[in-house]
Amino acid sequence: MATLEIKDLHVSVATDDGAKEILKGVDLTVKAGETHAIMGPNGSGKSTLSYAVAGHPKYEVTSGSVTLDGENVLEMSVDERARAGLFLAMQYPVEVPGVSMSNFLRTAATAVRGEAPKLRTWVKEVKAAMSELEIDPAFAERSVNEGFSGGEKKRHEILQLALLSPKIAILDETDSGLDVDALRVVSDGVNRFKASGETGVLLITHYTRILRHITPDFVHVFAGGRIVESGGSELANVLEAEGYVKYTGAQEAAG
Ligand code: ADP
Ligand code: MG
Ligand code: MG
């Protein structure tokens, strides 16, 4: 069973004024079969965590470790991370003009599976997954994310998730910008992905509403570049009622 282990992770981002430390010692273990939610105020470093695990060149790991089943993720190229079974859905998905969704998905599946999926079964697979996510078949021929609405981008992330079946998925604000119906479709997609019990999910979110559709096993509060509290799904209800004030106050007091 897959295990993603993040230990005492410190990450700096390159800015015009030099390197700025954003993550200040993150410890987190996500195992297959578990869903973890990371919740925290804007600017607390949640996306920085997902970029660092994804291997974005702007985010420098200054100390600590990230391993997947004991293998050092930080030494892997972005492609190798995907092949190892990591999937990262970014808060702001990139547009890839001139590359159709269907080509993009097939290339990604080929990279992850180590061989090109057979065309006939692949077309069926994609059609079925698109229909489950209520995506218009015409989207298959459109350029990746180009001119997609926020909700359409998020559906396509979940489409990738369904087709690539990674071991561990990190979803950064997959719920943001979704209306009620899209939120249901996207949440159902994540729940189908979880249903095998063989995959781990790290759900990064600012709001508790997606947690009414996807029940996390663990909730972690993120503030000031680290996890400041962990609990079960009931912690989300406390956050919904009380907000993050308690934690951001502590962050200011700590400097
Ligand atoms: P969150 O996702 O929790 O809202 P982020 O990880 O996006 O937080 O940002 C954390 C902090 O790091 C913020 O103060 C943000 O301005 C800063 N930061 C993140 N990425 C960059 C970047 N590429 N350049 C400069 N500052 C950045
Ligand atoms: Mg933010
Ligand atoms: Mg963010």
Q: How far apart, in Å, are the Cα atoms of 120 and each of 15, 102, 106, 123, 248?
A: 48, 13, 12, 5, 53
pLDDT tens-digit profile of 153-184? 889 999 999 999 899 999 998 888 888 988 99
Distance 118 CA to ligand 1 centre (A): 41
Q: Tell which atom from ligand 1 comes closest to the C-alpha of 58.
A: 23
Q: State the complex-level ipTM.
A: 0.95
pTM for this model (two decimals): 0.91
Return the CA Rg of the chain.
18
Could you tell me the domains of the chain?
Answer: 3-253 (3.40.50.300)
pLDDT tens-digit profile of 192-245? 999 988 899 999 998 888 999 999 999 999 999 999 999 999 999 999 999 999
In a mutational test of the pocket of ligand 1, which residue from 22, 56, 172 has the highest number of ligand atoms less than 8 Å from its CB?
22
Distance 42 CA to ligand 2 centre (A): 4
Query: Helices 180-195 and 150-164: crossing angle, nearest 10°?
Result: 10
Strand, coil or helix: what is 9? Answer: strand
